[in-house]
A and B are shown apart, each in its own frame.
Chain A
């Protein structure tokens, strides 16, 4: 077996309790690398089309990459995969923390679950041995309590990935949490875990990740860190900025630059949110206790807050909110109160909610309220107005607990709009059911498919994934188990090629690796096609594109040219311009012969 891989994958049937390990053929690793590459390959092979995402036949996977737990800086990530209950198509969610490396140290590259347990369980993996254990004492607990209890039971060196109450209650915007706030956020996979009555996965072990050429890997690590330390970002040292603020150092600026969507995608920063200074970086970090990092990250871009002492009494240990959360609960809601966003972050992390979707859903609810579609009676007395941070927090709590209107909101804007009716659909900004990341695609570099990626990526609405050939390298980075923050500001090809070669022992050029990235793009996409999803048919809320352009601000007059972006990239991918089906020739070129049999019967 190549370096970087433990060479074993666990499969747990929660209905029968059977757990078995498999030793995959090396070809699987070589062709699909890891993460959602391997995840999509396995799900496409072992799961038929049309299964209920919350039913026993949906397979949930937690999948690492070859660089997870390796000397590669930021090699810490794992990806959760399953059919998404939020979109009905391919679902994946990428998480940092320590869990990914420890899954490997426990002896496995990945663990997959099918079936549904009779009663709540958790999987305990201990140095090559795995068993399902009773989770009755954990069910109903939030993610913090769950992690604390399991670490108390299994030791501080065990790492926990779990759901909070929102996943237990099958909120379609719930997520999987580790380390009190490293979230596998998108695609509603917390609900998949909850539907299986799987509360947590605990990984403990000390098995080393084999490294083919440790000397080269360590040398590259030193060079990479040295280069990252001198990289520039917006005129300032990248390292210093990230370490100090994380991604949340510029939420105020982005509210005006056209980057962050404003007022539920319907506003203009300089007009509707004239003073976002309450979200500036210094205020976001004002209550910082200490820095925090994912496993062995040399940078450490996260932070832990002290107990909130003002109006918002979030507990000590709450994570500092990042840009996406500041965007969704801040600018999208016209909320300039940074402490309230920290509180929202705590609620989402504890209950296990995706902060992007949750904040966007609250913004949607505000717009419904402001336009009379819902009333104070519906909100339980909450005056859900733009910028009313107390109301935003109160409604977020209701959403997390599925109380009152929160029960309607807990499944995201698409479902909420359907239930509210009365024209609420106009305010539901999503694609395929998933709310969008906090980057307006109208603010884009010429020639990049920034709008197209939201519609056409296998998990729609994702700001971290590409569409078309420009997304292939990102697929390699993600599948390898790397954090993109470490590879956007240095020579990516040198380090991606270098680390993958030195760790695995497989000498591959960037072109060969990009071919893997292309293969991964195709297998994830054909999962959707097999489900009957053609992403071109997903409705795109006109606010996203600026169909009626804004008349003021940096995005004045701009309509994103979605059609051209999509068409150009479909051609480049060799996917049909109408059906988006990859050509037979392309699938055979990528070695996806079994997919040809499905798509070209």
Chain B
């Protein structure tokens, strides 16, 4: 069992009014597992940020894991203490 802190910025923080949450995951958990954990811990994310009924982010959201950026299907295996950010991707003009 590992623990990761998921901190949120931008719209994910705005819609939930939650700064971040610690989630418990199995060793070698993927970002899909993180999404599943977030759906459980912060249901308000489902719809605006997480696709309803799925362990997938909506387009233009991404995870940053220890300073590197990944989309939800990025090839990442998380370790205990990893720092995960949930962000909106660059937009605008």
Contacts and interface: CB of A to CB of B under 8 A. Distances in A.
Interface of A: 232-235, 246-248, 250-251, 253-254, 256-260, 269-270, 322-324, 327, 438-439, 443-446, 464, 485, 553-554, 557-558
A253 B92 contact: no
A324 B88 contact: no
B92 A324 contact: yes
Contact of A258 (B9, B14, B49): B9
A269 B58 CA distance: 23
Interface in B9-48: 9-11, 13-14, 48
A373 B71 CA distance: 44
B91 interface: yes
B68 interface: yes
14 contacts: A233-B91, A234-B59, A235-B49, A250-B11, A254-B92, A258-B87, A259-B10, A259-B89, A270-B9, A443-B87, A446-B68, A485-B93, A554-B64, A558-B67
Nearest to B57: A235
Given A233-B60, A234-B59, A446-B70, A250 B92 contact: yes
Contacts of B89: 234, 259, 443, 445
Interface in B54-93: 58-62, 64, 67-71, 74, 85, 87-93
A322 B67 contact: no
Contact of B88 (A251, A253, A464): A253
Contacts of B88: 234, 250, 253-254, 257, 259
Interface of B: 7, 9-11, 13-14, 48-49, 58-62, 64, 67-71, 74, 85, 87-93
Contacts of A558: 67
B35 to A, nearest CB: 14
A554 B6 CA distance: 11
B59 A233 contact: yes
Contacts of B9: 256-258, 269-270, 553-554
Task: Specify which of A259, A269, A438 lies most central, judged by the most chain B CB atoms within 10 Å of its CB.
Answer: A259
A445 B62 contact: yes
B68 to A, nearest CB: 6
Contacts of B93: 246-247, 322-324, 464, 485
A513 to B, nearest CB: 24
Contact of B10 (A235, A257, A324, A557): A257
Given A257-B88, A554-B87, 7 more contacts: A234-B91, A256-B13, A324-B92, A443-B69, A446-B70, A446-B74, A464-B93
A98 B22 CA distance: 53
A444 B59 contact: no
A257 B10 CA distance: 5
Contacts of A258: 9, 87
A453 to B, nearest CB: 12
Contacts of B58: 232, 234-235
A399 to B, nearest CB: 22
A254 B91 contact: yes
B69 A253 contact: no
B92 A446 contact: no
Contacts of A248: 92
Contacts of B85: 554
B87 A444 contact: no
B17 to A, nearest CB: 13
Nearest to B49: A235
B90 A443 contact: yes
B70 A323 contact: no
B49 A323 contact: no
Nearest to B74: A446
A302 B9 CA distance: 28
A487 to B, nearest CB: 14
Nearest to B60: A234
Contact of B91 (A232, A259, A557): A259
Nearest to B13: A256
A485 B92 CA distance: 10
B60 A439 contact: no
Task: Specify which of A257, A324, A439 lies most central, judged by the most chain B CB atoms within 10 Å of its CB.
Answer: A257
A216 to B, nearest CB: 30
A247 B13 contact: no
A323 B87 contact: no
B33 to A, nearest CB: 20
A410 B85 CA distance: 39
A415 to B, nearest CB: 26
A257 B48 contact: no
A439 B92 contact: yes
Nearest to A236: B58
Given A256-B13, A257-B88, A445 B60 contact: no
A323 B68 contact: no
B20 to A, nearest CB: 11
Nearest to B70: A446
A235 B59 contact: yes
A146 B31 CA distance: 56
Nearest to B48: A235
Contacts of A327: 92
Contacts of B92: 247-248, 250-251, 254, 259-260, 322-324, 327, 438-439
Contacts of B67: 557-558
Task: Specify which of A247, A269, A445 lies most central, judged by the most chain B CB atoms within 10 Å of its CB.
Answer: A445
Contacts of B49: 235
A250 B11 CA distance: 9
Task: Specify which of A246, A250, A324 lies most central, judged by the most chain B CB atoms within 10 Å of its CB.
Answer: A250
Contacts of B87: 257-258, 443, 554
